[in-house]
Amino acid sequence: MVNALNHTQSTSSKIKAKKMYVSTPINRVQEVETRLNKIFKEELDSEGSILVSYKPEVVSKLARFILGHVNRSASIGIAGETASGKSTITLDIIDTIKSFATEFEIEDAITRVNTDDYYYDRSEMVKKAGSFAEFAKNYDLDVPHALELELMSKHIKELLAGKSVYLPKYDMSGTAKRYDNYTLANPSKIVISEGLFTLTDKIKDAFDFKIYVDVRSHVQKERFYVRAKERDLGDSADGIYKNASQKAEIYIRPCKAEADIVLSGEAVRARYKAFLNKLICIVQQENLQSAIDKGFEYWQKEGLLTAERVEELKNMIEERFPDRNNIGETNPVLFLLKVKK
């Protein structure tokens, strides 16, 4: 995902965002996979883990993105039932990545494509029914064909191809009105979407990383009714919940099998950010390593270092600083100066 979050730094300036697509030795790929596997396994085995399960191949895929083997941005799709916690988790992911991007002056770090904005415009039907409540009695919103998922897939793929896209905006206040070409979205390092039907057949192939948020039924039901009370749904809440559960059994729960990662929707919120920060740490380490490698390559080309000396220095760095971040330095030049001490 680091094309996703790649950045380099000149000798005198702060870190700037930049995509770097490099040929990486096999052993580097294995090293990154080993570190990622350790992070995933430790989290999975810990008490109160955010992870329910993950497919081993997602680690290899993540390593390829981190090392720039995939020559484009990354897309993340997050699905789950209503009140599973998927929206909260998505917002926490966005907040964490934006905080990192701000600290290191990375532009266009992440773009959200909101699944709910792709509901078909049914405003005329609402007007004829007299109210949204009357309209909803005869029109089911808890099915994937209530949304224009083909258009959403097209927009995501265009963003991944480096194109700017105008996204729609759906009015959730009860008008069922959709405003097309409403928001300009520019290409970014990561495109993220969440929704009930984000991993269903018409859209799932748009995502590199598929995440399902799982939650126990009694927890989900309790959350739903708290939300229903806040929205003043009254007696209609029971019918809405029953319909949502029935449709989830058909359209949403099967998506769990498609997911690369299954997250718990019940973990402490801070745990999600902590886990993501561990992944970002590897991104930082690999950015630094890439910059160091480029520096050595330049010095060797200019005749300032022999190939033998470069190899000695690389081995020394690997031996003394296997975790590049443990001296708290992200500037490759300052890092090398500290290493010499």
SS3 214: strand
Can you list the domains of the chain with their CATH numbers? 7-114+190-236+252-283 (3.40.50)
Rounded to the nearest 5 degrees, what angle is found at the Cα of 282, between the Cα atoms of 281 and 288? Answer: 95
The contacts of residue 69 (CB under 8 Å, 6+ apart) are 21, 24, 29
One DSSP character per residue, 149-202 reads HHHHHHHHHHHHTT--EEEEEE-TTTT--EEEEEEEE---SEEEEEETTTTSTT
SS3 216: coil
One DSSP character per residue, 258-280 reads G-SEEEETTS-HHHHHHHHHHHH
278 CB-side CA count, 13 A: 15
Q: Please report which residue ranges of 231-263 form alpha helices under DSSP H.
A: 236-247
Nearest Cα residue to 149 out of 255, 262, 37: 255
CA–CA gap between residue 325 and residue 282 (Å, rounded): 9
SS3 312: helix
Nearest Cα residue to 180 out of 119, 253, 259: 119
Tokens at 71, concatenated:
């020559």
Indicate the helix (H) or strand (E) that contains 110: strand 110-112
* Per-residue pLDDT, 295: 75
CA torsion through residues 191, 196, 199, 200, sign:
negative
CA torsion through residues 3, 108, 297, 330, sign:
negative
Prediction pTM value: 0.82
Q: Spell out the per-residue pLDDT of the chain, length 341, in tens.
A: 544 454 433 333 333 333 333 444 557 788 889 999 999 999 999 999 999 999 999 999 999 998 888 889 999 999 999 999 999 999 999 999 999 888 878 889 999 999 999 999 999 999 999 988 788 888 898 999 999 999 999 999 999 999 999 999 999 888 999 999 999 999 999 999 999 999 999 999 999 999 999 999 999 999 999 988 887 777 878 888 899 999 999 999 999 999 999 999 999 999 999 999 999 988 877 777 777 777 777 777 878 778 887 777 777 776 766 655 444 455 555 555 555 55
The contacts of residue 270 (CB under 8 Å, 6+ apart) are none
On whether the CB atoms of residues 100 and 106 are closer than 8 A, the answer is: yes
SS3 121: coil
